[in-house]
Structure 1
Amino acid sequence: MELIRQRRDGTIMTTDSIDDLFVEGLQELYYAEQQLVDALETLAEQTDDETASQAFSEHRDETQEQVDRLEQVFEQIGEEARTREEQVVKALIDEHEQFAQENDGDVLDRYNMGIGQKTEHYEIAAYGNLASLAQKTGRDDAAEMLAETLREEEEALEEVTEASEQFDEEQVAD
């Protein structure tokens, strides 16, 4: 059965199997995580709120480990570690760059926390989907590694959400 996916840019991708879909998903996550390593460094540097800045910095290091883990998954399934541009992450990064050029201070800090939350939600969905596909296709070791990253992304979302809530409470108190 041929699976057809239409990308955001209008191009059509065809996939012949669930295995191909899994590999394409890995390639998109590999692209996303590589982009996010740099983006998280930018967020940490731009954000004046110490709690949020520290969370972005710590997650940057963790994201680099996740890039390494994805490379292990590629190796384990016998595929070359390649990227496939992922439109959601690309759009989030582009949106952030434009916003950051026009804003600063508390507004940029809060925006950065929000974009961090959006990114974590995307990653949670992507890793959850791939972990499930890996398990269903008998790639148990890959499923375990992807599930480990999924847990890390859920924890990162919790951290940035807590930082956002604390920031909001401080802003209301001022």
Structure 2
Amino acid sequence: MTTDSTQQLLIEGLQEMYYAEKQLVDALETLADQTSDETLSEGFSEHREETRTHVDRLEQVFDEIGEEAQTREDRVVKALIEEHEAFAEDNDGDILDRYNGAVGQKTEHYEIAAYGNLTSLAGKLGHDEAADLLEETLREEEAALDEVTEASEQFDQQAVGQ
């Protein structure tokens, strides 16, 4: 990837996150359906609705910076989804639940890093409204990480007790 400006770096990052969030809407539905642990499953369902909001918010960010909302493949999210699909083909029950919790954590960590960088870039470029919107999503991703981590820890404690 050759990028000739900070503005272009921001645009390409936004395009990747737009792709990622759109992919994650479907992936979160799969996680919710596959997870037998009720707390984890509900968390994935709730975050799916929040992720739809993130898609809409990214469209607002594109508008704020005067760009058309377009996707650009995010290889990290694509790989996480493909890795999950392969694992889920051969596993189920508690092991799949635990794996799904870990995938949720990995994804949230990645999104937090990406949104943190995009927020900073937008601010440095003077796109203050876009930076505010991105920071709102960043805070929601941080809260989602806390929730999936807590649900995973509860699942682990229950599994140890069995």
Q: Give the TM-score of the pair, scaled to structure 2.
A: 0.99
Which runs of no fewer than 5 residues in structure 1 stay unpaired? Answer: 1-12
Match of residue 21 from structure 1 = 9
Aligned-pair identity in percent equals 73
Structure 1 Cα separation of the partners of residues 53 and 114 of structure 2: 17
Instruction: In structure 2, list runs of 5 or more residues that go unmatched.
Output: none
Q: Does 1:92 align with 2:89?
A: no
Which protein is richer in strand relative to its size?
1
Q: Shift of residue 37 of structure 1?
A: 0.3
Displacement after TM superposition at 1:53 (Å): 0.3
Write the distance in 2 (CA, Å) between the matches of 1:143 and 1:77: 10
Partner of 2:46: 58
Residue 154 of structure 2 is matched in structure 1 by: 166
More helix by share: 2
After TM superposition, list the pairs within 5 Å mapping 1:149-160 onto structure 2: 149-160=137-148
Tell me if 1:138 matches 2:138: no
Task: Determine the C-alpha separation between the residues in 2 that align with 1:130 and 1:70.
Answer: 11
Amino acid of the residue matched to residue 50 of structure 1?
E
Higher relative contact order (CA 8 A, sep 6+): 2
User: Within 5 Å, which residues of 2 pair with 1:8-47?
Assistant: 13-47=1-35
Task: Give the Cα separation in 1 of the matches to 2:161 and 2:143.
Answer: 27
The residue matched to 2:72 in structure 1 has which SS? Answer: coil
Deviation at 1:117, TM superposition (A): 0.2
How much does 1:79 deviate?
0.5
**Once the 2 structures are TM-superposed, how far is the Cα of residue 76 of structure 1 from its aligned partner?**
1.2
Partner of 1:70: 58
Say which SS state the counterpart of residue 14 (structure 1) adopts. coil
**Residue type of the partner of 1:80?**
E
Runs ≥4 residues deviating over 2 A: none
Letter in 2 for 1:112: N
Q: d(CA) in 1 for partners of 2:61 and 2:11?
A: 10
Residue among 70, 73, 85 paired with 1:82: 70
| Superposition deviation, residue 134 in structure 1 | 0.5
One-letter code of the match for 2:132?
Answer: E
How much does 1:146 deviate? 0.2
| Number of residues of Structure 1 aligned to a counterpart in Structure 2 | 162
TM-score by length of 1: 0.93
**Deviation sequence 1:14-70 (CA, Å, 0-9, x none):** 111000000000000000000000000000010000000000000000000000000
Superposed CA RMSD in Å reads: 0.4
